[in-house]
Amino acid sequence: MSEYGPEHARLYEPVFRGRGKDFEDEARRLTDVVRARMPAANSLLDVACGTGAHLEAFGELFDTVEGLEYAPAMRDIAVSRLPAVAIHSGDMRDFELDRSFDAVVCVGNSVACVADRNELIAAIGRMTAHLVPGGVLVVEPWFFPESFLDGHAGGALVKEEDRVIARITQSSRQGSKTRHEIRFVVADSSGISEFTEVLFVCLFAREDYEEAFERAGCSVELIPGLELAGRPNSPGLFVGVRKS
């Protein structure tokens, strides 16, 4: 499963905030989605919680929040940021915690970083298993095969008071997956440095996600227009409720 290294983890949030991503507003919108289906929801698990930016905001909206993160570098940042919050080291495909939650969210396209359909089914199954009956699961998918822009090149330049960060990306289709080459160039008072990471993400069809929800014992609906990353051709969000 793809994961961010330490250098990428440190730059992840500054770059996305610099591009206009509002983690706090997204957490409020996700909470609205959850409480529209379970008004009394007051506990939440953030799977693939990353640096804890969403999780910190969820902590203002729910009585109890916990996180799960696979990449050590990302989890270290989240733990440092939220020392009073349980942030578990674990893999979404096979994690087992000792409690259930009213809501489980998995955003940032992380669910598509698994290897294949069987692992997608396993991941959705584990998330659903950590819901109370009637609990709500919200998953942000990666692009569907028909909406992925093969060969897409992108870039962002973030200027801070004492640092400039350039992030350049190129995405290509390789069979049933997408390959993402991400290059960073960072300039500060110590000089200029750069590094490159390559990540792979699965191109699952809408039906693959729906099957995973159904096999886990969850209802499922795709809500377009609720995408979090601001991509015009993003599928939206999958939302399900665990059946009794």
Q: List all residues 6 or more positions away from 211 whose beta carbon is below 8 Å from its beta carbon.
A: 121
Helix (H, G, I), strand (E, B) or coil at 182: strand
What are 17-73's pLDDT values in tens digits? 998 899 999 999 999 999 999 999 999 999 999 999 999 999 999 999 999 999 999
pTM of the model: 0.94
pLDDT of residue 244: 81
pLDDT tens profile 1-24:
666 889 999 999 999 999 889 999
CA angle in degrees (0–180, nearest 5) for 31-143-133: 40
Amino acid at residue number 230: G
Domain boundaries, the chain: 6-144+204-241, 153-201
Q: CATH top-level class for 153-201?
A: mainly beta
Q: Which residue did the predictor score with more confidence, 233 or 195?
A: 195
**Residue environment code for 23-50, b if the CB has 16+ CB neighbours within 10 A, otherwise e:** beebbeebbebbbebbeebebbbbbbbb
- Nearest residue to 30 via CA among 104, 131, 121, 120: 104
CA nearest to 106, candidates 135, 67, 72: 67
Q: Assess whether pLDDT exceeds 90 at residue 201.
A: yes
Predicted pLDDT at 5? 86
Q: Could you check whether 6-144+204-241 and 153-201 share the same CATH topology? A: no
What fold does the segment set 6-144+204-241 form as a domain?
Rossmann fold (3.40.50)
